[in-house]
């Protein structure tokens, strides 16, 4: 079989289908301009990291017993910048018989009294990216009509933290590597850009001068050359290819911005001024010799300042900018070298979505590929398996020699990280429930595929709740959450649900505070079949926009057409912990909201199935629920096989 034929096959693994245009929000998606606005600050000028002179104060690992100095100094700027958007939002939704503006004015000078808001977007591939994008569009005051009656616009501007995991991490990473662009701007794109062009799968590559086999071949040849440049001096893994391919769709720059780093977000003037929330991505650690990721796995977070974990296993953070430097026992010794550029943005986003070890555990023949491709895949996967490079490898391990009494990786030369949802905590809640961050409310967008038809059933929330009962949680708290059948039987996965509403219900030790209220926003069919498979690799723009619109309608409850009081209830969730701390009387309207939306502890664990119909109405045509596309991972790995051949 000729190489061109193999490329053609990998490019046709994902059939696309058309749907009708969507309604309200998409009216703004008419222009054709999006400037590339990230920072290509890798010292090599390309994908490969580079050895650099160490700074006078050599990089060190810090203990996780408090926030980093960088986050600590940034927080007052951000908290101050959230006050006016928060005041505007709370005033606009108009809680009856409560002057929200006057309340914020009274507490604005005290960060400990102000509400502290966080947003969390789950994993779930492109489904999670698109559904999460709808929520963020609804929460963003820059979105047309988001601040009109029934909207929740301004919630994003009032938030301190924005966390993403796997597909949700693609969303968060894409926003920030494009200078915190709005969802509408990313949908709009720009002429000649592949940004958010999901109609061309990452196996085919972006359309630059017309769809052709040559373009696909050149695309994978470029990817292979970029990864090869890193391979000359550093360990590479399948995640390097994965992250490079994703970047073409997520970073608005030539070749997906190979020189753009995640730490460069901290150099953006708007971020430094506190005008943007802190982005956080989540990955799980894989202990040496393990394949299955359990709830006891160490949870790692990436933010623009650091990579590390609050868990007692690692209990430390490394400066993100200097990953791959020669750390040993918590510092770079005088004879050690410093490295920059290892935290390439696509590699970090790819790390949070590295599902390749799951794919390896499957029978390759189940992908339905021809024999000759199966043979090629088997060869590549066996090599990756043998070298433990089936996931993301961070070499040298920044936590080598660190916290050796409890750190399983302390004696390992490499740190192995996998998809942050593989421990079932598919919503990135872990960084947001850390007491040091003092978050009051988390808006948790769940696009998990827990049921047979790819809808969530609360498993992600339950996993985090279950984990806090174990020593690995290091004393963090989380609201009680029921079982999956109760979620379905009580309709908790059909509509927004609040967990942990009453702070007085928690038994606290000295110095402990109640955990955040969790506003659970499950993916559900408001106006579109948004339950597409995690493994669908391509989407026509009209379907992309329909699923984003569906997420928008979930966040706003159809611009408050399903519940006229919904914006008020969002405001009540924002205010609740702050009111409790300040011993304020809860407004009657908020009491009514909590009676309606808070889980009251009722259980119904009878076996249940879940096949919901549309809550508002279908904006699609010819789009069957849970349509299955070509196997995403099979397509990617076959394309990587081609890339390896091209690079030889």
For residue 311, give the DSSP letter. S
Give percent of the chain with pLDDT exceeding 70. Answer: 83
Does the pLDDT of residue 364 top 60, yes or no? no
Distance of CA 331 to the CA centre of its chain: 30
Lowest-confidence segment of 8-22, 59-73, 394-408 by average pLDDT:
8-22
The DSSP bridge partners found for residue 284 are 299, 418
Look at residue 214 and tell me whether its pLDDT is greater than 60. no
Q: What pLDDT shows up at residue 537?
A: 81
- Averaged pLDDT for residues 226-230: 94
DSSP label at 254? Answer: G
Tell me phi and psi for residue 383, to 5 degrees: -65, -45
φ, ψ for residue 567, nearest 5 deg: -60, -35
Domain covering 3-647 in this structure, CATH number: 3.40.1090.10
pLDDT exceeds 50 at position 333:
yes
Calpha distance 170→267 (Å, rounded)? 20
Q: Is there a contact between 307 and 300 (Cβ–Cβ < 8 Å)?
A: yes
pLDDT reported for residue 7 = 31
- Summary mean pLDDT of the chain: 86
More confident call, 619 vs 173? 173
Question: Exposure of 645 by Cβ count < 10 A (0-12 exposed, 13-18 middle, 19+ buried)?
Answer: middle
> H or E stretch including 445?
strand 441-446
Report the pLDDT averaged over residues 165-179. Answer: 97
Over pLDDT 90: what percentage of the chain? 72
Concatenating the DSSP letter of every residue in 6-18 gives: HHHHHHTSS----
Distance from C-alpha of 383 to C-alpha of 532, rounded to nearest angstrom: 32
Higher pLDDT, 216 or 144: 144
Residue 476, φ and ψ in degrees, nearest 5: -70, 155
CA angle 135, 141, 147 (to 5 degrees): 95
| Cis? peptide before 396, omega within 30° of 0 | yes
Q: What is the tens place of the pLDDT at every residue in 580-613?
A: 999 999 999 999 999 999 999 999 999 999 999 9
Burial label, 471 (beta-carbon count in 10 A; 0-12, 13-18, 19+): exposed
pLDDT at 79 over 60: yes
Q: What is the mean pLDDT of residues 374-388?
A: 57
The ranges assigned to domains in the chain are 3-647
Tens-place pLDDT, residues 257-299: 999 999 999 999 999 999 999 999 999 998 777 767 889 999 9
What's the average model confidence in pLDDT over 206-229? Answer: 72
DSSP string, 141-187: TTSTTTTSTT--TTTTTT-SEEEEETHHHHHHHHHHHTTS--HHHHH
User: Other CB atoms closer than 10 Å to residue 512's CB: what's the count?
Assistant: 13
The average pLDDT across 331-339 equals: 94
d(CA 555, CA 139): 8
Which pTM was predicted?
0.90
Q: What is the model's pLDDT at position 192?
A: 78
pLDDT tens-digit readout, 446-504: 999 999 999 999 999 999 999 999 999 999 999 999 999 999 999 999 999 999 999 99
In the predicted model, is pLDDT for residue 26 greater than 70?
Answer: no
Structure tokens at 164: 């993403």
Helix (DSSP H) and strand (DSSP E) numbers for the chain: 18, 14
Q: Closest Cα partner for 57 from 331, 347, 362, 421?
A: 331
| C-alpha distance across the termini of the chain, in Å | 18
Instruction: Kindly report, residue by residue over 133-156, the tens digit of the pLDDT.
Output: 999 999 999 999 999 999 999 999
- More confident of the two residues 248 and 537: 248
Alpha-carbon distances, residue 609 vs 451, 522, 524, 615 (angstroms): 8, 16, 14, 18
Contact between 19 and 547 (Cβ < 8 Å) = no
Q: How far apart are CA 454 and CA 493, in angstroms?
A: 12
Answer positive or negative: Cα dihedral of 162, 168, 169, 172: negative
Predicted confidence band of residue 385 (pLDDT cuts 50, 70, 90): low
Q: By three-state DSSP, how is residue 463 classified?
A: helix
């Amino acid at each position: 079989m000729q190489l061109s034929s193999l490329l053609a096959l990998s490019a046709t693994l994902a059939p696309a289908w058309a749907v009708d245009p969507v309604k309200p929000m998409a009216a703004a998606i008419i222009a054709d301009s999006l400037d590339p606005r990230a920072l290509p600050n890798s010292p090599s000028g390309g994908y490969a990291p580079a050895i650099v002179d160490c700074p006078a104060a050599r990089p060190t690992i810090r203990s996780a017993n408090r926030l980093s100095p960088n986050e600590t100094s940034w927080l007052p700027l951000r908290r101050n910048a959230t006050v006016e958007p928060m005041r505007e939002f709370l005033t606009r939704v108009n809680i009856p018989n409560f002057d929200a503006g006057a309340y914020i004015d009274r507490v604005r000078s005290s960060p400990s009294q102000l509400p502290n808001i966080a947003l969390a977007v789950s994993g779930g591939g492109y489904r999670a990216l698109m559904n999460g994008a709808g929520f963020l569009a609804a929460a963003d005051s820059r979105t047309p009509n988001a601040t009109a009656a029934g909207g929740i616009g301004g919630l994003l501007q009032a938030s301190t933290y924005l966390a993403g995991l796997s597909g949700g991490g693609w969303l968060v990473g894409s926003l920030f590597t494009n200078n915190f662009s709005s969802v509408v701007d990313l949908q709009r794109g720009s002429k000649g850009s592949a940004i958010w062009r999901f109609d061309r799968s990452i196996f085919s590559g972006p359309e630059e001068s017309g769809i052709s086999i040559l373009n696909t071949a050149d695309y994978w040849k470029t990817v292979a050359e970029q990864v090869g440049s890193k391979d000359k001096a550093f360990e590479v893994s399948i995640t390097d290819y994965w992250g490079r391919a994703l970047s073409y769709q997520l970073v608005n720059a030539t070749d997906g911005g190979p020189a753009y780093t995640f730490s460069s977000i901290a150099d953006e003037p708007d971020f430094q001024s506190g005008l943007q929330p802190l982005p956080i991505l989540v990955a799980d650690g894989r202990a040496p010799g393990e394949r299955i990721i359990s709830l006891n796995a160490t949870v790692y977070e990436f933010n623009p300042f650091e990579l590390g974990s609050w868990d007692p296993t690692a209990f430390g953070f490394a400066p993100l900018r200097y990953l791959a430097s020669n750390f040993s026992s918590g510092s770079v010794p005088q004879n050690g070298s410093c490295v920059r550029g290892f935290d390439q943005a696509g590699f970090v986003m790819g790390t949070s979505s590295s599902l390749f070890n799951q794919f390896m555990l499957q029978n390759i023949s189940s992908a339905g590929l021809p024999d000759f491709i199966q043979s090629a895949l088997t060869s590549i996967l066996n090599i990756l398996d043998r070298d433990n490079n089936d996931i993301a490898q961070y070499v040298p391990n920044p936590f080598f020699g660190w916290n050796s009494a409890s750190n399983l990786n302390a004696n390992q030369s490499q740190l192995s990280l996998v998809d942050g949802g593989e421990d079932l905590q598919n919503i990135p809640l872990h960084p947001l429930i850390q007491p040091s961050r003092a978050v009051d409310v988390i808006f948790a967008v769940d696009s998990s595929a827990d049921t047979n038809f790819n809808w969530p059933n609360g498993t992600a929330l339950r996993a985090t709740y279950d984990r806090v009962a174990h020593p690995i949680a290091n004393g963090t708290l989380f609201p009680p959450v029921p079982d999956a059948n109760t979620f379905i039987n009580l309709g908790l996965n059909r509509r927004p649900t609040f967990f942990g509403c009453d702070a007085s219900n928690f038994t606290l030790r000295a110095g402990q505070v109640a955990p955040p209220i969790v506003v659970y926003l499950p993916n559900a069919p408001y106006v579109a079949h948004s339950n597409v498979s995690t493994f669908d690799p391509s989407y026509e723009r009209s379907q992309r926009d329909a699923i984003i619109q569906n997420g928008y309608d979930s966040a706003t409850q159809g611009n408050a057409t399903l519940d006229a009081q919904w914006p008020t209830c969002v405001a009540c969730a924002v205010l609740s912990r702050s009111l409790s701390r300040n011993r304020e009387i809860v407004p009657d309207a908020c009491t009514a909201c909590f009676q309606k939306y808070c889980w009251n502890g009722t259980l119904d664990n009878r076996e249940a199935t879940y096949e919901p119909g549309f809550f508002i109405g279908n904006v699609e045509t010819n789009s069957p629920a849970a349509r299955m596309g070509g196997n995403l991972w099979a397509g990617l790995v076959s394309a990587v096989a081609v890339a390896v051949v091209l690079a030889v």
